[in-house]
Amino acid sequence: MTPALRYSWRSLVPDYAGGGIGLALSLGPLAYAHPAASVAWVLAAAAALFLVYFGRTLCRQLTHIELDETGIRVRGPALGLLSAAIRWEDLRSLRLDYFSTRRDPEGRTMDGGWMQLRLRDARRTIRIDSELEGFVGLARVAALEARRRGIDLDGATRANLGVLGIEPAATEAG
C-alpha cells in the first residue's frame, strides 16, 4: 500500500481565503449595517454559500486517499459519510477531465487549469482533483488498472493522460 495521499495545505490556502473573505463580505454588512430585509436575505444566502464552500475545503483537507493492489479508498471526515472505496476488479470507467481557467491556445498544460480524475464502479464514483499530492502517480496506477480490465478510454482522457506524461497509447483498451 502506498502512503496516504492528501491535499496539501498550500493548494487549499486560496480556497480557505476565498471562503473566509466571502464570509466576511457577506456577514460584515449583516452584523454592522443592518440592511433592508431583501438585502439581508441576499447577504444571508451568500454567507450560506461561502460557508458551504469553506466547509468543502475543510473536508478536502481532512480527506486522505489510500491506494493499493486491491483498489482505491477515500477516507473523509464525518464518521465515514464522505468515504468511498472501489476495488480494481469492479472498476467500470476512468475519465480524466481538464478544466481551464483561461484560454490556452498552445495546448493543455496544468498552468491554466486543473484536472479531475473520475473512477466509477457499479454503485459509486470517486472524484479526485489534480491538486492532490501524488495525483500523477495515482492517475498512472488507475490508467494501468483500467487497461488491465479492458476499459475503453475516450479521446479526451487519453489526451489528458498524455499531458501528465502517461503514455495514452498504453492505456487504450485492446
Other CB atoms within a 10 A radius of the CB of residue 121 amount to 18
Q: pLDDT for 66-111, tens place per residue? A: 999 999 999 988 656 678 999 999 999 999 999 887 765 555 555 6
Task: Please state the three-class secondary structure of the chain as a single string.
Answer: CCCCEEECHHHHHHHHHHHHHHHHHHHHHHHHCCCCHHHHHHHHHHHHHHHHHHHHHHHHHHCEEEECCCEEEEECCCCCCCCEEEEHHHCCEEEEEEEECCCCCCCCCHHHEEEEEEEECCCCEEEEECCECCHHHHHHHHHHHHHHCCCCCCHHHHHHHHHCCCCHHHHCCC
Which residue type is seen at 133? E
State residue 69 phi and psi, 5-degree precision.
Answer: -70, -15
Residue 65 has pLDDT above 50, yes or no: yes
Q: How far apart are CA 125 and CA 92, in angstroms?
A: 10
Q: pLDDT for 27-48, tens place per residue? A: 999 999 989 999 999 999 999 9
Residues facing 96 on adjacent strands: 117
The whole model's pTM is what? 0.79
Q: Of 125, 149, 147, nearest to 161 (Cα)?
A: 147
Other CB atoms within a 10 A radius of the CB of residue 74 amount to 19
